Amino acid sequence: MFTGIVEEIGQIKEFSRHSNGAKITVECKKVLENSKLGDSIAINGCCQTITHLNNTSFSADVSKETLSITNFCTFKAGNKVNLERALTPSSRLGGHIVQGHIDCVGKFVGVEKLSDFYNLTFEIPDSEIKYVVKKGSIAINGISLTVASVSGNIIKTAIIPHTYSNTTLKDLSLGDSVNVETDILGRYIEKFLSVNNNSRAIDENFLIENGFV
């Protein structure tokens, strides 16, 4: 499990595809501290297992499934990526609960600079937008962000200077694909309601019957 608080920006040293997936090697420094073979590191929000490491880099095997549902398929040597080590029992949960399981690929569609702050806009697939709510949490390329507004399948996120400067958000170009993980709590709520209420809609009558109005 992760928090969506990026520890370091790494650089892809090698990305080689093969018949069963790909191998990625990332140059970095901070996330190598106390890491060992078999540990998990989120690369742009996608949980990957360390298969090799040395003093300057680590490698991971990327499955076909990961290539098919993330923006890893666009990776090449030289690309910068957000990195975060998995939580330990003593870690602070500074962002929100992030599993490292990418739900979909979105698109970066807009940027607005407000003094030192930025409003970044992303397009989310229709199938996933139902899990995104105003003031809720979302992970974009592994970064825990708060949703400022939702309009159709377009979301706006307000970015503080520290987040903008210390992640790859500053390197995005319009049209770039981004990894998206929606808040897992929304999926559990949907599952609970569908199992216990036979997929009944949450309308005024439902709320009245359950004491909310």
Terminus-to-terminus CA distance in the chain, angstroms? 37
pLDDT at 91: 75
| Residue 48 to residue 106: CA distance in whole angstroms | 20
CB atoms within 10 A of CB 166: 16
Q: What per-residue confidence (pLDDT) applies to 102?
A: 96
Tens digits of pLDDT across the chain (213 residues)? 899 999 999 999 999 999 999 999 999 999 999 999 999 999 999 999 999 999 999 999 999 999 999 999 999 999 999 999 998 877 777 788 899 999 999 999 999 999 889 999 999 999 999 999 999 999 999 999 999 999 999 999 999 999 999 999 999 999 999 999 998 888 887 777 776 555 566 666 766 777 764
Contacts of 6 (CB under 8 A, 6+ apart): 82, 83, 84, 142, 143, 166, 167
The pLDDT value recorded for residue 208 is 73
Q: Is the Cα dihedral 47, 5, 141, 129 positive or negative?
A: positive
**Spatial contact of 166 and 9, defined as CB atoms under 8 Å apart:** yes
Residues in the chain: 213
Instruction: Give CA–CA dist 82/43, Å, rounded.
Output: 6
